[in-house]
Amino acid sequence: MVSLVVLHSISLPPGQYGGDAIERLFTNRLDCSAHPYFESIRGLHVSAHFLIRRTGQLLQFVSCDRRAWHAGASQWCDRANCNDYSIGIELEGLEGERFTAAQYAQLVVLLRALSRRYAIDAVVGHEHVAPGRKHDPGRGFDWGRLARALRWSRARLPFAPQD
Ligand SMILES: [Zn+2]
């Protein structure tokens, strides 16, 4: 049962926005010869439930009732393998860089919808469930902004500043 949401950032190639490379990657249709960076991720089989583009556009790749391959080796509290019990949301962006107002707005809508369907204990970053190995969404993601918009208990947003 889903009890966790893991936030990520992705752009392909890194720092380049728009285009359909992310969709292609998540649906195993990326032409790895189309860009030198794509060659470096050839053979990578990953997916996420959702992608929120810079414009706020929301795309879904995997049913929330199915496992997606977004977290890899990971752990939250005492539970390993976050893919088994989490929903993965990718924000189009670059680790350490900021995200758009439209993305926060769409993220809030999506998280509210998910919390009506599932008992979400926490929303965390990939960097928090795979520390040292992963660094997304990174310092540019404003957890305080998300917390203010959602008005959820801080227990569910453990990385929002406590103010
Ligand atoms: Zn990630």
User: What is the mean pLDDT of the segment spanning 134-162?
Assistant: 95
Q: How far is the CA of 73 from the centre of ligand 1 (A)?
A: 11
According to DSSP, residue 56 is labeled -
Q: How far is the CA of 59 from the centre of ligand 1 (A)?
A: 16
Please report, as a single letter, which amino acid is at residue 92.
Answer: E
Give the pLDDT confidence score for residue 163 in this predicted structure.
66
Give the pLDDT confidence score for residue 43 in this predicted structure.
87
Handedness of CA 107, 2, 63, 5 (dihedral sign): positive
**Alpha-helical runs (H) found in 10-154:** 21-26, 36-40, 101-117, 126-129, 143-150
Give the residue numbers annotated as catalytic, written as ranges: 90
Q: How far is the CA of 81 from the centre of ligand 1 (A)?
A: 14
Q: How far is the CA of 70 from the centre of ligand 1 (A)?
A: 6
* Measured distance CA(16)–CA(18) in Å, rounded: 7
| pLDDT tens, position by position, 96-146 | 899 999 999 999 999 999 999 999 999 999 999 999 999 999 999 999 999
Which positions ≥6 away from 85 have C-beta within 8 Å?
A: 1, 2, 3, 4, 79
pTM for the complete prediction?
0.96
**Alpha-helical runs (H) found in the chain:** 21-26, 36-40, 101-117, 126-129, 143-150
